[in-house]
Chains A and B, each alone.
Chain A
Amino acid sequence: GDSVTQMEGPVTLSEEAFLTINCTYTATGYPSLFWYVQYPGEGLQLLLKATKADDKGSNKGFEATYRKETTSFHLEKGSVQVSDSAVYFCALASGGSYIPTFGRGTSLIVHP
C-alpha cells in the first residue's frame, strides 16, 4: 500500500539557516504530493503541493520538487525564521483519491 517516510525530528536550527526535511514515498500510479504544516495547538494547513513529476511546489519561501526517479519530495527553505517552528507533514494521495496518506511528521524548532 501507499506509504510516506519522513526524517525523524526534531530538527533544530538557528534563524536564517538552510532547511531540508527529507520525504520519500511508496505508491502505485502517479500520486499527488503534499506538505502540510501544523503550528502548535492548531490544525493542518496545506503548505505546498505538486501533482506530477518534476513539478515544484512553493509557498512562503518553502519549496519541494516531485522527483519520480527517486520517489522523493524533500522540503527546503533557504533561510528559516523562528515563526517557521512547527510540525511538517509530508503526504500523498493516489489517483483520484483525496484521502492523503501522511508521514509521521517532522518537528522543526528554530532558535533566534
Chain B
Amino acid sequence: AQKVTQAQTEISVVEKEDVTLDCVYETRDTTYYLFWYKQPPSGELVFLIRRNSFDEQNEISGRYSWNFQKSTSSFNFTITASQVVDSAVYFCALRTNFGNEKLTFGTGTRLTIIP
C-alpha cells in the first residue's frame, strides 16, 4: 500500500517570508515518482514538479525548491520570498512503477500569504 502524508493542514505566512510545505510518503516499491501540484482558487490543479526515486538531487525553479530525502521518505517544498499569488492548496502525490496508473494524493496544505 502507498500513502502520502501532509501533516500541515493550513499555513499562513506574511508576504516575503519563506515557507516549507512538508510531504512524507510510504511505499514498498523501489521505483516511484513524486509530484507536487498547486490548486489555486479557480479549482484546477497545476503540475509543479515530478521526481523519480533514483534522483535525489534537490531542484530549484525560481522561488520554488524541492528537497527529496529517501532516508526520511520526504519530499518537501519550499517557497522563498513568498507572494500573495502563492496562496493556494498544495498537494503532494506518489506514483509507483509503470504498471500502476494511479496517483496517490496527500490531503493537501492550504497556504495563505498575508500581504
User: Is chain B a partner of chain A in the same complex?
Assistant: no
| Chain B interface residues (CB < 8 Å from chain A) | none
